[in-house]
Structure formats: C-alpha cells, structure tokens
Amino acid sequence: MHIRRSHELGLDEARRRVDQIADEICERFDLTSNWHGDELRVTGPGVSGHIALAERSIEVIVRLSLALTLFKGTIRSAIEEAMDHHLS
C-alpha cells in the first residue's frame, strides 16, 4: 500500500505531525514505531512499513501479511483519515 500527501509545513513541523499520525495509527493497530533519519519505521503483527518525510511530501509505504490483506481497505482508510486530519 502506498499513500502520499504533499505539505508546506517545513521538516520540523511535518515531523511533529507525522509523530501524531503514527501515535494514532500505532495505538489503533497495536504497532510500534521508531525514527531512522527522516523515515519513521512501523512494525507490528503482520504489518511492516515506513513513513518517509521529505521537504514537501509525506509518503507511507505499508506491507501487510496475507491474512491482513482482507482488512486493506479499513487500514488504508484509517491511515488516510489520520493523515488528512493531522496535515490540514
């Protein structure tokens, strides 16, 4: 799954908001996250991925286990809603 949003927040503010997005998603889906440079890596049961932070965009890449692909739409909607809420 690949989701991308543009922003004009600057890196520091975008990083703060990515933390808010990750907190919301990690709590909802029982995931953990940690920063590696400008990439927030996210892992959990059947889920791996990252949120890449750039000067004018935020990109989410998520890989789901076969069992979780049944919930791909729900997971995608939750991520998009969190991104739209925190980036607006």
58 within domain boundaries? yes
39 within domain boundaries? yes
Which CATH number belongs to the domain containing residue 54 in this structure?
3.30.310.80
43 within domain boundaries? yes
DSSP state of 76: H
87 within domain boundaries? no
In terms of Cβ atoms closer than 10 Å to its own Cβ (0-12, 13-18, 19+), residue 46 is middle
42 within domain boundaries? yes
pTM of the model: 0.90
88 within domain boundaries? no
* Non-local CB neighbours of 85 within 8 Å, separated by 6+ positions: none
Predicted local distance difference test score (pLDDT) of residue 43: 97
Among 34, 36, 13, smallest CA distance to 87 is for 13
Structural domain span for residue 21: 2-82
What is the tally of structural domains in the chain? 1
Predicted local distance difference test score (pLDDT) of residue 14: 95
DSSP SS3 for 10: coil
Predicted local distance difference test score (pLDDT) of residue 12: 94
Residue 88 has pLDDT above 90, yes or no: no
- The residue ranges of DSSP E strands in 1-88, in sequence order, are 2-6, 32-36, 39-44, 47-53, 57-64
pLDDT in tens, 17-69: 999 999 999 999 999 999 999 999 999 999 999 999 999 999 999 999 999 99
69 within domain boundaries? yes
Residue 76 has pLDDT above 90, yes or no: yes
